[in-house]
Amino acid sequence: MLEPRTYAWLIPERLAVAERPGGGGRSHRRLRRDAEIDWWAARGVSTIVSCMRTRHGLLDAALAGFAVRWHPLVTPEQGAREIRALADTVAECLDAEPGAVLVHVDRPGEWLAGVDAALRLATGLAASRAAALTQAAADGLPVGEISQALVGARGGGARARASA
C-alpha cells in the first residue's frame, strides 16, 4: 500500500478527492496505481468517480472490486456545465453505498481544486463559492481560473480572490 501524494477528505472516511491513482499523464506508474488503489480500499473506498477525459484505469478499478463512474471534465466551460451532474452522481453514490467515494482527476492542480470546491458546495460543506474555493486552497490545491470557472466564480471581486 502506498499513500497517495495529493488528496483531501471532504467528509472523513466518506468522500475524498485526489489525483488519479498512480499519478497523472506521463508520470503515471502502474505499480504506484496498484499500491494507491490498495491504500484507498483499506480506507473504505468502494466507489471511484473519475473526472478524467478518458477512461484510463477504470477497468483496473472495476476489476479490483470498486464500483466506477465516469464524468469527464474536458474544458472549463464544459466542466462548469457538467459539475452539477458530477455532484449528483457523488450524492447518489454516497446514498447507495456504505463505503467511501473517491473522486479523481488526472493530476493535482486547478481541476482538482475546482472539483473539491464544487463538491463542498453541493454537499453543504461550504456556504458560498468563495468559502468553497478557500477550503480547496486550504487543502493545498491551487485555486485559479479553471477552479473558479468550475464553481462559477469568474470575474472580479472577493470570489475571484478566494485563494488569496
Is residue 116 within 8 Å of residue 3, measured between CB atoms? no
Domain annotation covers residue 64: yes
How many domains, in total, are found in the chain?
1
Domain annotation covers residue 63: yes
Domain annotation covers residue 150: yes
Domain annotation covers residue 46: yes
Domain annotation covers residue 35: yes
Mean pLDDT over each residue of the chain, to the nearest integer? 88
Domain annotation covers residue 47: yes
Residue 111 has pLDDT above 50, yes or no: yes
Is residue 45 within 8 Å of residue 99, measured between CB atoms? yes
Residue 25 has pLDDT above 90, yes or no: no
Q: Which domain holds residue 145?
A: 7-161
Write out the three cell numbers for 77: 466551460
Domain annotation covers residue 1: no
Specify the pLDDT at position 23. 67
Distance, CA of 117 to chain centre: 9
Residue 154 has pLDDT above 70, yes or no: no
User: What pLDDT, in 10s, does the model give residues 48-64?
Assistant: 999 999 888 889 899 99
More confident residue, 34 or 137: 137
Mean pLDDT of 132-149: 95
- 95: domain CATH number? 3.90.190.10
Domain annotation covers residue 155: yes
Specify the pLDDT at position 107. 80
User: What pLDDT, in 10s, does the model give residues 66-103?
Assistant: 999 999 999 999 999 999 999 999 999 999 988 999 99
